[in-house]
Chain A
């Protein structure tokens, strides 16, 4: 149960090895937080990644659950497994995703299903599962890590961009559906984030880091915000970029 000073007693992270996801979790864990569930493809990797959390919060109850982020059909069961481990979910952070930068989809078009399966189909099924649970418990917050890549899909990685555009729009509509239920969804739209996932890539303008994304996300969780841009200037930037004529958009260097 969340408390009166905005502390989540139970936190679940989907994508238990995600750098941004773990950074959000670290900031959410304060006195009063009792339970953390890391849901990942590889629990031993998640355990390694979260070793500092366990060290710093010895009283925190930490659970690991294995899942296949691309297996949409399993998502209701995954949510049920989380609930049987900890009961009510106060905050669920959905951070799983694959990038596949530079992949040659022309050579092997069928590989789009891997990215779409994790980033979109899997996430949509998971969000339905979570939304159903949170609605029945009468409260709770889902945090979806989206990306500005979905705001106007770029030629450099259109599959990733399109998958983010899909879940972003989906999550906003699902949040609308949850109106009055006590549950809500926060969509986080970071710009280019320097993490393991983006190592070696050329930084885009307005790049940020996992800690900044986490700090802004945690601040937004305790407010009524539905969308948070990181950095916040990106909100205005994309308002312009989205309305640029195609001829100009195509000439931009990213």
Chain B
């Protein structure tokens, strides 16, 4: 056990905790025997942006399994059901499953997340509008409770506990194992249709129609928040699906090597960056280049899995690009009919001069049965900004109100700052989740900095 300073991917709100590697149930139980009044939380690869996987003054159980054994990675070649230890990353899963013709049912913008983290955040990807979120593709999960007991939960067995754990931010227990239904693929390529859209209305119109958008398994739009005037909110829409063998041009490729998959992390960001390198001007230049790079007319092509799903993974530690001040990622969702709020939020950030390196818009599908799962029918917009920007707390509080007033909510895996009341307003089933959580963890063992800030667990000031 070592004391370590931890933060989320955004490198803000650092706190110190006792950190223990615990990749199997036995070591989790052993580590828990040392936990003090400030409780414990599991941590995977630390990709949630805020304080979800850190526990100031308490215990953090790191569960990232680099090289799972055969027993920790059981892929049924007929059904595509993968039984896997929770510390295994999607990167590791893809390296082993893609060559055998299987793909993860949901992937976020990075493949460096663990299965445990994917369940706790109930992650979503570019296919949410048709396939839903990660929790919907589980056969079952094994959860280690604060009592030390491991229980198997599924949508049919102890379903309340199952759905409280999906999206439960690790506050119901430690996921130790799960069975995931993978999807079959014929090739390691994606057919991608790219379209440049001149303004925000065009962006919304292109994605709003389910009849058109639902024909694509994957659909997402990059939006330029710094473009002003007529081209405000212009974007590049990319949609696609896994390419069938027939889409490969080369005859030889169609038979051999169609499923070759070996993504590389090519560049490392410098270990330190001065604050302010990513500023309004540098990002404006980047956005302009990105927009121009996209073909002006609709274009269909083939892309690799890594290029299509995980473009940022090419740069290792890209999170250091914002310098020592760190950055936040603001992700919210509003109902489909509230494109006016999307526009108002974009205008508010744009007029405040808060640059965004990455702004992504997506139309989401229906909500699942998990009370704390983020995705629900609506538009989700995601933007990055430097954490040290002057006046940011006030600006964010203003935007939070706009989102909540419109019936929207914030994604806890990204959250850096919302108030306890924002969670209660945004997630109408919060109280229901809380009572199931308390039932699952009567002694209140599971704690995180996020849980403290948002009063997700009653600590009774007794820590």
Contacts and interface: CB of A to CB of B under 8 A. Distances in A.
Interface string A164-208: 000000000000000011100000000000000000000000000
Given A4-B13, A4-B326, A31 B397 contact: yes
Interface in B258-282: none
Interface in A76-107: 83-88
Contact of A1 (B10, B14, B449, B461): B449
Interface stretch (B51-59, B160-168, B197-205): B51-59
Interface string A196-227: 00000000000000000000000000101000
A180 B415 CA distance: 26
Interface residues of A, number: 27
A97 to B, nearest CB: 29
A59 to B, nearest CB: 9
B56 A88 contact: yes
Interface in A92-148: 136-139
A137 B56 contact: yes
B169 to A, nearest CB: 14
Nearest to B392: A5
A247 interface: no
Nearest to B16: A182
A4 B51 contact: yes
Nearest to A83: B461
A86 B462 CA distance: 10
B17 interface: yes
Given A30-B394, A31-B397, A84-B461, A182 B38 contact: no
Interface string B51-81: 1000111100000000000000000000000
A243 B459 CA distance: 52
Contacts of A87: 452, 459, 461, 463
Contacts of B420: 34
Interface string B371-408: 00000000000000001100011101100000000000
Contacts of A9: 453
Contacts of A32: 393, 397, 417, 419
Contacts of B3: 180-181
B445 interface: no
Given A31-B397, A88-B463, A1 B453 contact: yes
Contact of A180 (B16, B50, B388, B394): B16
Interface centre among A84, A87, A139, A180 (most CB of B within 10 A): A139
Interface centre among A1, A85, A87, A136 (most CB of B within 10 A): A1
Contacts of B397: 31-32
B228 interface: no
Interface string B423-463: 00000000000000000000000000100110000010101
A5 B328 contact: yes
B5 interface: yes
A138 B461 contact: no
B59 to A, nearest CB: 11
B304 interface: no
A246 interface: no
Contacts of A137: 38, 56-57, 463
Interface of B: 3, 5, 8, 10, 12-17, 38, 49-51, 55-58, 324, 326, 328, 387-388, 392-394, 396-397, 415-417, 419-420, 449, 452-453, 459, 461, 463
Q: Enumerate the 3 nearest inter-chain pairs by beta-carbon distance, A residue then B residue, closest first.
A: A4-B416, A182-B16, A31-B397
